[in-house]
Amino acid sequence: MKRFVTLIISLALLSASAIAQTPGKEPAMSHRDSLQMHFLNRLNQKAAPGYRLYKTDNLWTFLELETATGRLWQVHFSVQSGSTSGRYCINSLDLTLLDGDSFHGRFDLYKTENLYNFLLIDTLTGSVWQAQWSYNAANRGIIPIRDL
């Protein structure tokens, strides 16, 4: 419901802004437009979750993503007594440190055909990392995927 209300408000603000513009001219951003953009960004931040869980093909393992910074953990749970449940760090680095523009929903995670690998994307810049989870700490981490 929150996302629906956010979508309606966003469309109304964008429509009002589009009607006020003169066709064929690129208007300078006014203080009002700047406030509208700030308001839309704040609405989107409230609608996007700060953290998301992603299912892996392993019954006992999920990946937890902090959507504002790209930090990532492997979450292991168990239903048997004596078994260990826990959170293992895959990426502790804030991936927004270079530009400082962190907001909920900036990062997303996509499953691949490989059981242990996901793709982490920065939806603002388009940067992509290969994220690998493992029970072995030496095999956990992220690797940037660069242009060739």
Residues 9, 74, single domain; the answer is no
Q: CB-side exposure of 117: number of CA atoms within 13 Å?
A: 11
pLDDT band at 12, cuts 50/70/90?
Answer: low
The model's confidence at residue 130, banded by pLDDT at 50, 70 and 90, is very high
Determine contact, residues 102/94, Cβ cutoff 8 Å: yes
DSSP per-residue letters across 50-96: SEEEEE-SSTTEEEEEETTT--EEEEE--SSTT---EEEEEE-S-TT
Same domain, 121 and 74: yes
Inside any domain, residue 23: no
Domain extent at residue 85:
51-145
pTM passes above 0.85:
no
- Partners of 54 in beta bridges: 63
Q: What is the mean pLDDT of the chain?
A: 83
Q: Identify the pLDDT of residue 79.
A: 84
Together in a domain, 42 and 73: no
- Percent of the chain scored above 90 by pLDDT? 57
34 and 72 in a common domain? no
Domain co-membership, 41 together with 60 = no
pLDDT band at 37 (very low <50, low <70, confident <90, very high): low
Greater confidence (148 vs 88) lies with: 88
Residue at 25 is within a domain: no
Whether 24 maps to a domain, the answer reads: no
Whether 80 and 131 map to the same domain: the answer is: yes
Split into its structural domains, the chain has a count of: 2
pLDDT for 69 equals 96
Do 35 and 104 reside in the same domain of the chain? no
pLDDT for the residue numbered 108: 97
CA–CA dist 36, 41 (Å, integer): 9
* Same-domain check for residues 104 and 134: yes
Q: Are residues 10 and 78 in the same domain?
A: no
The pLDDT assigned to 78 comes to: 84
